[in-house]
Amino acid sequence: MNSSSSTMSFVLSQKGKPLLVMDDYVFRLNKITNTTKYYRCENRDCTATAHTDLNNVLLKVNANHSHVIEPEKKEIRIFKQIVKERATKESTPIPKIYEEESAKMILKFSTIAILPSQREMSSSLNKARRLETPPIPDSSIFGILYLYTRTIENEEFLCVDKFIKRKTRILLFASNEHLKMLFQNSIVLMDGIFSTCPKIFDQVFTIHSIKYEQSFICGIGLLPDRKKSTYRFVFEELKGLAVRMNLVFSPSTIITDFEHSLADAIISEFPSSNQYGCYFHFTEAVYRQIQHLGLSSGYCSDGSFHNRLNLRVAKHHPNIWILIRCIQGEEIRFNHVLIQMIGGLTCRTKTAATNAIQQRIDTLYLRYQNNEITVDELLLGLSYVVAKNTSAKRKK
């Protein structure tokens, strides 16, 4: 066989060993010297061999195989490798991974006929997933492996890991790029997420910064409670990180929900900052009152980051390791979106309906500022906007 015309690729065996695939024949690594890797056909009765250098460049091949080609086996190996890799790196349920990858590969009938079923593969995949996952802690006192303190690109990521008091721990994840953006921008958003928080903590506390008219997640914390002292501790830690970077953490505008302890902590730590309630949380609060008065029957909305994190986690109250992996994935997304924005990408264009609703809100606040309406009339008007927006969403 002419080695220059051979198609060559590499896959991994079920035990993680490298396999050389050449023209649909599979070779196992036999030995390695200082200059050469020696491969042998995986069929023990076959004498075909192949040699590559240490950079996997083909040097020599003896492709006189004594058996017929079986391309289906190669496809199955590739399928198993992809499914196993996803199973060990994601929290997605294994049946879903199996279904998604089998649909993506568009396998031939002859391959499907001998492909192991999801049930047959589940045991080995669950075992592989367990081997990659540390023991799941049942309290806040646990060790964190080095892998979970770094970004996927192996940069420092766990910037705060401290106990406020016995059994009360705070973890804060942020890369240097996250912190740099947070400290250099004047508008900050803060919010808590509860359904995706591990049970050994109380909430996932997120800190966002606005740049290029886009919200960027700049810090994700795991907090033990919702006390003012806890929030102040987080802010003091961030101020200390800013000092070490020769920067200052003093945003001019902070947008939050309507949590009293968080608002009080912000007033204490950032007395010169302007604090505003997030409209999303405001409409939720207004709508709770609407429901109480019987003016409507349902309301469902959420922030894009919340939705994205929920999709990544794919379950309520995941274990700590699943959540950290999802947070590491968010750090990759942060870098990609930031580079795209620097390269000229613009924010998604607002729809006509969104602009119309925003105009109504602006008009109501302008009337209130001009003393044309009272506070009660402002709230009533906003409740109509919320109800109208909800009605439109329910019709879609």
Angle (deg, nearest 10), helices 228-244 and 260-269: 40
Give 281 or 73, the one with higher predicted confidence. Answer: 73
| pLDDT on residue 270 | 95
First to last CA, the chain: 61
Mean pLDDT, range 122-132, rounded to an integer:
88
d(CA 344, CA 71): 45
Record the pTM.
0.67
Question: 337-391: per-residue pLDDT in tens?
Answer: 888 888 887 777 767 877 788 788 778 878 888 999 988 888 888 778 766 554 4
Going by C-beta distance under 8 Å and a sequence separation of 6 or more, which residues neighbour residue 31? 37, 38
d(CA 139, CA 4): 59
d(CA 289, CA 171): 35
- Please give the domain boundaries of the chain with CATH numbers for all domains: 3-62 (2.20.25.240), 71-132 (no CATH), 148-342 (3.30.420), 352-395 (no CATH)
d(CA 54, CA 111): 32
